[in-house]
Amino acid sequence: MEIERIQLQKHGDSRGMLVSLEQNRNVPFEIRRVYYIFANTPDVHRGQHAHRHLTQLAVPVRGSVTLLLDDGTGPATVVLDDPTQGLLLGSMVWRELYDFSDDCVLMVLADQFYDPADYITDYAQFLREVHGVRYVEGLAL
């Protein structure tokens, strides 16, 4: 599992702030997709899935959000509220996003195109896959 905070260099002067994201430089992968989450309904929980083969970098461009992260060994929570800090999330991490501030804009860079087949949306299935349980004719091995 890979979960890591990445400090992004802030270029600031009297006019304001600027952060630059560059493929294979401060973003440690090839950027195939960028999406952003905003205008969330109050008290909503998003995510609630893991990815089999996807690395992402989440940057809270504005506002704040809490992430519950679980690599199969138990949950940890991370608050993202600094646009100069990204969170790198590797494959096989269950994630839930909640406590979005009203103004939250969470930008996510990903190393793969959108692929619904890459999602694990059932937590019990995630635990089976992350712990390497194999099934043969309905039997857990």
Q: Where does this chain touch ligand TYD (CB under 6 A) — which range of 1-9, 32-40, 67-75, 82-90?
A: 32-40
Q: Where do the DSSP E strands lie in 23-120?
A: 33-38, 46-51, 56-62, 65-70, 75-80, 85-89, 94-98, 105-110, 119-120
Contact, 60 vs 66, CB < 8 A? no
Question: Whose Cβ is closer to ligand TYD: residue 9's or residue 35's?
Answer: 35
31 binding ligand TYD? (CB under 6 A): no
35 binding ligand TYD? (CB under 6 A): yes
Classify residue 128 by its DSSP letter.
H
Angle at 29 between CA 92 and CA 122, to 5 degrees: 20
In the bound complex, what is the minimum distance in angstroms from residue 18's beta carbon to ligand TYD? Answer: 25
Question: Whose Cβ is closer to ligand TYD: residue 7's or residue 77's?
Answer: 77
63 binding ligand TYD? (CB under 6 A): no
Q: Where does this chain touch ligand TYD (CB under 6 A) — which range of 12-20, 42-50, 86-94, 127-135?
A: 42-50
Residues of span 112-141 touching ligand TYD by CB under 6 A = 114
Dist. CA 58–CA 67, nearest whole Å = 10
Angle at 125 between CA 50 and CA 130, to 5 degrees: 65
Question: Whose Cβ is closer to ligand TYD: residue 49's or residue 128's?
Answer: 49
Catalytic positions, written as ranges = 49
